[in-house]
Structure formats: C-alpha cells, structure tokens
Amino acid sequence: MRHALIVIDMQNDFCPGGALAVTGGDEIVAGINARMDNAEAVILTQDWHPADHASFASQHADRAPMEVIEAPYGPQVLWPDHCVQGSQGAAFHAGLETTRADLILRKGFRCEIDSYSAFFENDQTTPTGLEGYLRTRGLTSLEFVGLATDFCVAWSALDAARLGFKVRVQTELCRGIDLDGSLGRALSDMRAAGISVV
C-alpha cells in the first residue's frame, strides 16, 4: 500500500495565541515534520474562510462563539472569526515544514457552508477533490495528524474510511478542542468505523 500523511489545519489561528486556539496545538509541529520523512506523499489542508463566512458567530445577530445553530446541512457550531483568507491567522505555523507538501488543499472557502473534512463540505456530498487526487496517485493508506482531533481530523478520517481507504489517526500528533465531550465521541466514532486510533 502506498502511504500518505495528511496534515490537518496546522495554522496560526488554531495554535496558542490564535483566534480559535487549540491547547497545545503548537507542541505537535516538530513531530509532524519528523513524520513526513516516512510518507510517500504529504498533503496539507488549510482552512480558508471568507471574512463573512456563515460559520462565524459574528455573522449571526445575538449569537456567541461556540453556540450551535441548525444550518441547512445540519448542526453548525458558530466559531470565532478564524483563518480568514490571506490573514496571518490562516497561514501555516511557521515551524511546519511546508516545502515537503505535495499538495495544499484549501477548504471552507464557500461562504455558505463549513468544511471540516478534507474530503467533503459539511453537507457530506460536495467533494473537495482530495479523493480523486489520492486515487490517481495510488495512495491508499492514509495517516492523519493535526488540528483539531474532534473536528477536522475526525471528520476527515471518518470520510476516508467511508471511501474505502485504510486509515490511521496518530493521536499524539493531534490536539482536540473537546467541546461538550466532543473529543471522546470523536475517538469512539473513529474506532467504531474501523479506524486505527493510535
């Protein structure tokens, strides 16, 4: 099996000091860089939101960050404004070895819908194109690392498993948000889907 390392959203806004900081998010950068040496391909994903993205609490009157609303495609957490296109917050962490990337996949750029997964928008049907890229290159074994375990990492890993890839999540190279127990649920869901959660 040909192996790809998929690095999820290692961006400034998800690291300490960022707009949607994940505790310890910067601690995993060196480990991720080291992991790249053993991968046949490295794919980096990048949240890339317009300033008026529908998932931002600032776009909803009388709503606060971390509240959940019902969007046309299902429940949507309202986030602080983050990873706005072209901003310093959207840039990759300075320590991340981006030159090793075969592909940088930007997601969440459609104003009206969020995109946690590297494979689909949150409607679970609109593809990002990553599946086709991986299949064209014959990459069938996928290892996921990055931020955040319980949102973009988990959604990406679950979609990859559903699409028939062999999937592994390297949890020591991930960090989670844990919004109302979301981390435990995500780990349980991934194991139930046959994902190797290491």
Count of helix runs (H) and strand runs (E) in the chain = 4, 8
Sheet of 166-175: strand order equals 103-107, 41-47, 2-8, 139-147, 166-175, 196-197
Pick the catalytic residue: 9, 26, 47, 150?
9
Q: Write out the two tokens for 81.
A: 């404004």
**At CA 165, angle to CA 35 and CA 121, rounded to 5?**
90
Pick the catalytic residue: 13, 152, 159, 174?
152
Q: Is 9 a catalytic residue?
A: yes
Q: Is 166 a catalytic residue?
A: no
29, 95 contact by CB (below 8 A): yes
Pick the catalytic residue: 107, 114, 159, 174?
107
Which residue in 63, 93, 98, 92 sits closest to 78, CA to CA?
A: 63
Q: Give the number of other CB atoms < 10 A from CB of residue 85.
A: 15
Q: Is 83 a catalytic residue?
A: no
Pairing of strands 68-71, 74-77: antiparallel
- Active-site residue set: 9, 107, 152
